[in-house]
Structure 1
Amino acid sequence: MYNKLALLALSLRAVRAQQVGTLTPETHPTLNTQTCTASGCTTVANKVVLDANWRWTHSTSGSTNCYTGNTWDATLCPDDATCAANCALDGADYEGTYGVSASGSSLKINFVTQSAQKNVGARTYLMANDNQYQMFNLLNKEFTFDVDVSKLGCGLNGALYFVAMSADGGKAAYPNNKAGAAYGTGYCDSQCPRDLKFINGQANVDGWTPDSNSANSGTGNHGSCCDEMDIWEANSISQALTPHPCTSTGQTLCQTTACGGTDSNDTRYDSVCDPDGCDFNPFRLGNQSFYGPGKTVNTNSVFTVVTQFITADGTSTGTLSAIRRLYVQNGKVIQQSNTDVSGIDTTNEITSNFCNQEKSAFGDNTGFQTKGGLAKMGKALQNMVLVMSIWDDYAANMLWLDSDYPTTSPASSPGVARGTCATSSGTPADVESSQSSDYVTYSNIKFGTLNSTYKAS
């Protein structure tokens, strides 16, 4: 994803602490999912946990903030190791503070929540139990969910995706991390984000530079890299399906310019990961009537998203050969739209040939291929954590998803037009004010053998 993941609570700003506080109880909401085979589906009582980057972090001896505005407390956090020892990560009031609510098989995440402080966005993970993330092997399987994006306007992203995080949030590998998955630690993605407050049991204080365009975020010397499979990056206008491989395996620490990604625009492609990915955005690929309000996939109402991961030998350990997508709405199965771009063969799935042709036709960076392409992505898909979030974009106003991007190129140039939103849209200050009541709902998550998780009525 192109984002910095610099989503924030405006007074108790996102922090990744490693000690555990006791001022607020941590109770994980239950979210029912289903596992499916050809003979039927079985309900599983999973849970969700809020990412550590959103939580209040305070001194272990009291309630003094370790991080206020976009700066660290110099006394509590003079360096990475001392800060991790001095700061406690506390429990969360999921609905009251962060706008996250689960009921049965449905998870709703509000964009802006106003309580004692103003919270913007949230990132959550699916858990197998109170101390472990749910792990997925997606090869030769399909992943299905229902989504309501009707209240997501330009500049917002309701993102459901997989990353190669550790099952325990890094607790075993890094003894300084006392919180682990129970408190949402261990995040990583293909942008190798440097706005994370704690990584691998250490704080990210050293080299911390407050952002010039946000009073609440910044970047440190370190980032956290891993393979990322963007199942769903979307609002009511546009959507994209995007694999992002890395040459590394699992969560990996990076330093300064070697992190590349969104936090290092001058060295965007210098990391172990591919920050761009090989994206399948129907609008960008020539079908402007497929997805949106009143279109073939009508975003005015709920619909089902099915993503299939096809292997060359039809096994759960084989080489990933294709990623396929279909939808179900009003009882009708809708196949992914076909490409309609000069230089790209007509197709409706992501394959190595499609990715090669897309990069050439659009003149995009070829990091997807050099970082291992679908074959490397497939290896990562054997051990992934599910992420569900909503966010706005301080780096590029989400124009890469729903407008013309880059804005320095004509909209008529191949690959530039990605949606109908104006190039002036998506400014965080604007969307956080005018679209504060927006939200996304994910529901009816199912995982199983191919063609087992959906049906037409």
Structure 2
Amino acid sequence: MHRSSIPIVALLAALANAQWPGVNIAENHPPLSWKQCGSNGQCNTVGGEVVLDANWRWLPEVNGFRSCYTGQEWNDDVCPRKPIDACQCALEGADYAGMHGITSSKDALTLRYATQSQFGTTRNSRVYLMESPTLYKTFTLADNEVAFDVDLSAVGCGLNSKLFFVAMDQDGGKAAYPTNRAGAKYGTGYCDATCTRSQRYVAGRASRPWCFPNHVHWYPTQSDPNGGSGQYGACCSEIDVWNSNAHSYSMSTKLCQVNGYHRCDNEIDCGDGERIVRCSRDGCDYSPYRLGQTEFYGQGKTVDTTQPFTVVTRFTDEQTTQFFVQNGQKIETPAPAIPGLSNVSGLNADYCLNVANELNTWQDTFNRVGGFQRHKAVLHQPLVMALAITDDHYAWNVWLDAVYPPAEEGYPGSQRGPCTWTDNDPSKNQDKWKNAKVVWKNIRFGPIGSTVDV
């Protein structure tokens, strides 16, 4: 019986555009231990490791040295834009300390903002906690808490040191998209509620289970010498436990109509301009400074960011709350000081239902995509832990620590922190930030009440 050759041709095309592991540089994950705590209060040390996201890696041709991607651009000679053409690129191992400023020691992880090497200066990084060399560690947040110690005294205005959870595939998409041959070992499969279009590889082109280069309609980012965005985006729900620098912080839940990894197909479909709301990019956030508690967190304030401190975040179906421990003292997060909002701190259904209206947010996308009911669903599914330090060439991180939106200065909730927009411009402040770093330490996870004794 005659069989159509179309599926074979399609498979060959997909394999040609596959995402391969490299052979030039060995991949050695930095070890990072953390603690799994039980309801009896005992915490056991787990020998984990971290992996650098695929987007920060050298991407040469398979079994070669010519780069598929350099700076802001795909190399058409190595990686043609037509999907049917051969584009065989490999994700290489990373020089974690020498090129990316990522070092670990026992239960401590240091992420430096800028690292100078013989190849130039590398800025920003994002890593994921691993369960094994080929699988991310996943956490189910409902009825549990996460605690960590952090020193961010060197993270200034305009930078974001971030610990968060995303609904990535545990294997980095390797099983779902067979042409992803690299997988979690090489940091593949990132997604978030911005439906990021900056990932160089995005899975699932059309209805086919392919992982393919995102070079169709790829445009360089105007001010970022290493950034760009393509036609396709990678979407999923995220729980931001900790967006922060030494001047301000926020906790947020950012949802998608589909919680897990999925692809969007163009600028509008991915939510730019919020004409289509696939995900809630802003989500529902809790930031004491934004809510009028301007003396709670910062240099020399109640939580003094010139010194290390502990952050404890608790998740139940009814609420997500945080408190701090510094110098042996427990410090509760204050309730909002803006009238009309909840009289308790943290994220809950009442607060997330009303905050967009009370703070004059122009679109309440959080409740449009399912609100707190969907948030509860996210808490009950496995999520991957990510840690990062980043600048922001799109919005300069003013949503974290300055006035945002700039045109609404003076309105309730517009002041996110004490910084000014001129402090946050990456194109002008990178030299000032060159020594910035964040140190994460003593990560613990377990049932509520198990990770700290205060």
Partner SS, residue 109 of structure 2? strand
**Please, what TM-score do these two structures have when normalized by structure 1?**
0.91
> Match for 2:232: what amino acid?
H
- Whole-angstrom CA distance in 1 between matches of 2:85 and 2:200: 10
- Whole-angstrom CA distance in 2 between matches of 1:57 and 1:367: 36
Cα pair distance change 1:323/1:81, threshold 3 Å? same
Matches within 5 A, 1:339-418: 339-364=336-361, 365-381=363-379, 382-410=381-409, 412-418=410-416
- Whole-angstrom CA distance in 2 between matches of 1:396 and 1:146: 28
Cα pair distance change 1:431/1:455, threshold 3 Å? farther
Aligned to 1:219: 229
Matches within 5 A, 1:153-232: 153-200=156-203, 201-232=211-242
Partner SS, residue 95 of structure 1? helix
Aligned to 1:30: 31
Q: Judge conservation of contact 1:223–1:256 (CA < 8 Å) in 2.
A: yes
- Whole-angstrom CA distance in 1 between matches of 2:194 and 2:94: 26
Moved more, 270-279 or 95-104: 270-279
- 1:384-403 per-residue CA deviation (whole Å, 9 max, x = no partner) reads 00000000010111111001
**Which has the larger Rg?**
2
Deviation of 1:194 after TM superposition, in Å, equals 0.4
Moved more, 184-193 or 32-41: 32-41
Moved more, 423-432 or 24-33: 423-432
Partner SS, residue 59 of structure 1? coil
Kindly indicate whether residue 272 of structure 2 is the aligned counterpart of residue 289 of structure 1.
no
- Whole-angstrom CA distance in 1 between matches of 2:86 and 2:33: 34
> Match for 1:299: what amino acid?
T
What fraction of aligned residue pairs are identical, expressed as a percent?
38
Selected match of 2:43 from 41, 44, 59: 41
Matches within 5 A, 1:132-143: 132-143=135-146
Deviation of 1:451 after TM superposition, in Å, equals 0.8
Selected match of 2:65 from 63, 66, 74: 63
Deviation of 1:82 after TM superposition, in Å, equals 5.9
Q: Judge conservation of contact 2:22–2:63 (CA < 8 Å) in 1.
A: no
Matches within 5 A, 1:329-348: 329-348=326-345
Q: Judge conservation of contact 1:30–1:47 (CA < 8 Å) in 2.
A: yes
Aligned to 1:315: none
Partner SS, residue 252 of structure 2? strand
Cα pair distance change 1:367/1:451, threshold 3 Å? same
Q: Judge conservation of contact 1:57–1:67 (CA < 8 Å) in 2.
A: yes
- 1:308-349 per-residue CA deviation (whole Å, 9 max, x = no partner) reads 001xxxxxxxxx221011111111111111111022132112
Aligned to 1:441: 439
Partner SS, residue 287 of structure 1? coil
- Whole-angstrom CA distance in 1 between matches of 2:221 and 2:82: 19
Cα pair distance change 1:17/1:363, threshold 3 Å? farther
> Match for 1:213: what amino acid?
S
- 1:24-52 per-residue CA deviation (whole Å, 9 max, x = no partner) reads 11011110010112321011001100000
Q: Judge conservation of contact 1:49–1:127 (CA < 8 Å) in 2.
A: yes
Deviation of 1:184 after TM superposition, in Å, equals 0.1
- 1:175-226 per-residue CA deviation (whole Å, 9 max, x = no partner) reads 1100000000000000000011001111001111122222322111100000
Q: Judge conservation of contact 1:321–1:375 (CA < 8 Å) in 2.
A: no
Partner SS, residue 312 of structure 2? strand
Aligned to 1:244: 254
Cα pair distance change 1:340/1:84, threshold 3 Å? farther
> Match for 1:50: what amino acid?
L
- Whole-angstrom CA distance in 1 between matches of 2:428 and 2:453: 40
Moved more, 128-137 or 34-43: 34-43
Moved more, 189-198 or 372-381: 372-381
Deviation of 1:373 after TM superposition, in Å, equals 1.5
Cα pair distance change 1:232/1:17, threshold 3 Å? farther
Deviation of 1:77 after TM superposition, in Å, equals 1.7
- Whole-angstrom CA distance in 2 between matches of 1:275 and 1:269: 13
Kindly indicate whether residue 243 of structure 2 is the aligned counterpart of residue 233 of structure 1.
yes
- Whole-angstrom CA distance in 2 between matches of 1:336 and 1:136: 24
Q: For structure 2, which runs of at least 5 residues remain unmatched after alignment?
A: 1-16, 204-210
Cα pair distance change 1:393/1:236, threshold 3 Å? same
Partner SS, residue 423 of structure 2? coil
Q: Judge conservation of contact 1:403–1:417 (CA < 8 Å) in 2.
A: yes
- Whole-angstrom CA distance in 2 between matches of 1:108 and 1:323: 27
How many residue pairs match? The answer is 427
Q: Judge conservation of contact 2:277–2:365 (CA < 8 Å) in 1.
A: no
Matches within 5 A, 1:96-111: 96-111=98-113
Aligned to 1:314: none
Cα pair distance change 1:134/1:146, threshold 3 Å? same
Aligned to 2:6: none
- Whole-angstrom CA distance in 1 between matches of 2:86 and 2:192: 22
- 1:423-451 per-residue CA deviation (whole Å, 9 max, x = no partner) reads 22211122311110100011100000101
Selected match of 1:125 from 103, 128, 132: 128
- Whole-angstrom CA distance in 2 between matches of 1:111 and 1:80: 36
- Whole-angstrom CA distance in 2 between matches of 1:335 and 1:83: 58
Partner SS, residue 388 of structure 2? strand
Q: Judge conservation of contact 1:244–1:275 (CA < 8 Å) in 2.
A: yes
- Whole-angstrom CA distance in 2 between matches of 1:124 and 1:388: 5
- 1:400-420 per-residue CA deviation (whole Å, 9 max, x = no partner) reads 10011111122x211111100
Q: Judge conservation of contact 1:35–1:448 (CA < 8 Å) in 2.
A: yes
Q: Judge conservation of contact 2:255–2:369 (CA < 8 Å) in 1.
A: yes
- Whole-angstrom CA distance in 1 between matches of 2:85 and 2:176: 19
Cα pair distance change 1:34/1:137, threshold 3 Å? same
- Whole-angstrom CA distance in 2 between matches of 1:375 and 1:303: 32
Q: For structure 1, which runs of at least 5 residues remain unmatched after alignment?
A: 1-15, 311-319
Deviation of 1:134 after TM superposition, in Å, equals 0.1
Deviation of 1:17 after TM superposition, in Å, equals 7.7
- Whole-angstrom CA distance in 2 between matches of 1:259 and 1:137: 29
Question: What value does the CA root-mean-square deviation take over the aligned residues?
Answer: 1.5
Kindly indicate whether residue 30 of structure 2 is the aligned counterpart of residue 20 of structure 1.
no
Q: Judge conservation of contact 2:80–2:86 (CA < 8 Å) in 1.
A: no
Cα pair distance change 1:82/1:53, threshold 3 Å? farther
Aligned to 2:8: none
